[in-house]
Structure formats: structure tokens, C-alpha cells
């Protein structure tokens, strides 16, 4: 899952939000340097990623991106899932998604001093360009794809390749999300924290 899903699956708990959002920037045993409640968010993030990466529905969804994106297909699926979460009428309206995004930015800003330095830079761009709200829109997804392509060392395509896959298989990928996300949510609600 990408940023929006990790934020949402923290269920408005500020410490879980911070830990969940910074986890990819906390390497090895660095997580032990954080307060216990932040550590829980980091561990939750890792549990969410493991659940997602090993789920049969996610593995099937990745197949669409495999030919053009290879091992990066998982990263693109994470962003696609965030798009379907942002547009899920059972979870967000336009107003609640905007308010939720501001809530997450405020939680992160309130903990700015403890954010890993690289994530501080990421967060600056995230808030400035309102990434969380932007996942709702196809141009926001294209920008996210472009960012992945720009940072990926071994990916030799432009963002047009995964974006074309999303457009071609949009309804099928949406169906994968609708099957998968309730199971992930149920998993997180039973996860010890």
C-alpha cells in the first residue's frame, strides 16, 4: 500500500500515523530508537506491506504491470490501490478526503523533529502538492507514476507504460481493490497495537 492507505489504516491515531508514514525511511533496527507508540506504527506498516505483498489478489493485480514494469509492478499497484481508496465512496467523499489529508499533514508536521531527514523532504513535497488528496485524480496518479519512474534505477519505461496499463484494466483493477481492501482492513483491526 502507498501513503494514503497507510495513513487511513492508522485510524486517526497520531502515533500510528507517524510510524506508518515514516516506516519505509526507517532502516534495519532504527525503529527501536523511536518511542514505543511510534514503533507500533512502524511495525504496523511492515505488517500491512507483508499482508499486501503476499495476498493472492494483489499478486494477480500485479500481473497486468509485469510485462512493462517487471519487479516494480508492486510499487505501481500500491499507488493504484491508493487511487481506488481515494475514490471509494464507502470511505471518502471529496470533502472528507480533503479533511483527512489535512489531518495527516498536521499529524506529521507536529512530529517534524523526529521524522527521518529524507522523509522530511518527501513530506514537504507531499504537503505542498497535496499528494494524499491528489490520488483521487488520474493526473495525480500519473505524477506519482512519474516519480517512481524517475527514482527507479532499473526501470526503462516512462510513466506512460504503467498508466496505459491502469487505463486499459481500470475496471478489473478496481474489482481487485474491492476484494482486497476489506480483507486488509479486517487484518489491521485485529493486528495487535
Which tens digits make up the pLDDT trace of 22-70? 999 999 889 989 999 999 999 999 999 999 999 999 999 999 999 999 9
Task: Give the closest residue to 97 by CA, choosing from 136, 123, 128.
Answer: 136
CA 105 to chain centre: 15
Q: What confidence tens digit (pLDDT) does each residue in 120-179 have?
A: 999 999 999 999 999 999 999 999 999 999 888 888 888 999 999 999 999 999 999 999
Residue 28: all three cell numbers together: 534495519
- CA 179 – CA 58 distance, rounded (Å): 10
* Chain center to CA of 130: 14
Q: What is the 3-state secondary structure (H, E, C) of the chain?
A: CCHHHHHHCCCCCHHHHHHHHHHHHCCHHHHHHCCHHHHHHHHHHHHHHHHHHHCHHHHHHHCCCHHHHHHHHHHHHHHHHHHHHHCCCCCCCHHHHHHHHHHHHHHHHHCHHHCCHHHHHHHHHHHHCCHHHHCCCHHHHHHHHHHHHHHCCCCCCCCHHHHHHHHHCHHHHHHHHHHHHHHHHHHHHHCCC
State the total domains in the chain: 1
Compute the average pLDDT of residues 1-10. Answer: 94
Per residue in 162-174, pLDDT (tens digit) is 999 999 999 999 9
Which whole-number Å values give the CA distances from 96 to 16, 31, 53, in the listed order?
20, 31, 28
Domain that holds residue 137: 3-190
Amino acid at each position: 500500500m502507498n501513503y494514503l492507505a497507510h495513513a487511513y489504516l492508522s485510524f486517526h491515531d497520531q502515533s500510528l500515523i507517524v510510524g506508518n508514514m515514516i516506516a519505509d525511511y526507517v532502516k534495519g533496527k532504527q525503529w527501536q530508537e523511536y518511542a514505543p507508540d511510534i514503533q507500533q506504527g512502524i511495525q504496523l506498516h511492515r505488517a500491512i506491506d507483508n499482508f499486501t505483498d503476499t495476498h493472492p489478489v494483489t499478486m494477480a493485480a500485479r500481473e497486468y504491470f509485469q510485462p512493462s514494469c517487471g519487479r516494480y509492478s508492486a510499487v505501481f499497484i500500491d499507488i493504484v490501490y491508493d487511487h481506488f481508496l481515494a475514490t471509494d465512496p464507502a470511505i471518502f467523499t471529496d470533502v472528507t478526503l480533503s479533511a483527512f489529508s489535512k489531518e495527516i499533514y498536521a499529524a506529521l508536521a507536529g512530529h517534524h523533529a523526529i521524522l527521518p531527514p529524507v522523509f522530511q523532504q518527501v513530506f514537504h513535497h507531499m504537503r505542498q502538492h497535496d499528494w494524499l488528496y491528489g490520488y483521487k485524480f488520474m493526473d495525480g496518479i500519473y505524477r506519482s507514476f512519474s516519480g517512481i519512474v524517475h527514482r527507479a534505477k532499473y526501470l526503462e519505461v516512462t510513466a506512460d507504460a504503467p498508466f496505459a496499463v491502469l487505463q486499459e484494466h481500470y475496471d478489473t483493477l478496481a474489482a481487485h481493490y474491492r476484494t482486497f481492501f476489506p480483507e486488509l482492513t479486517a487484518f489491521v483491526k485485529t493486528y495487535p497495537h
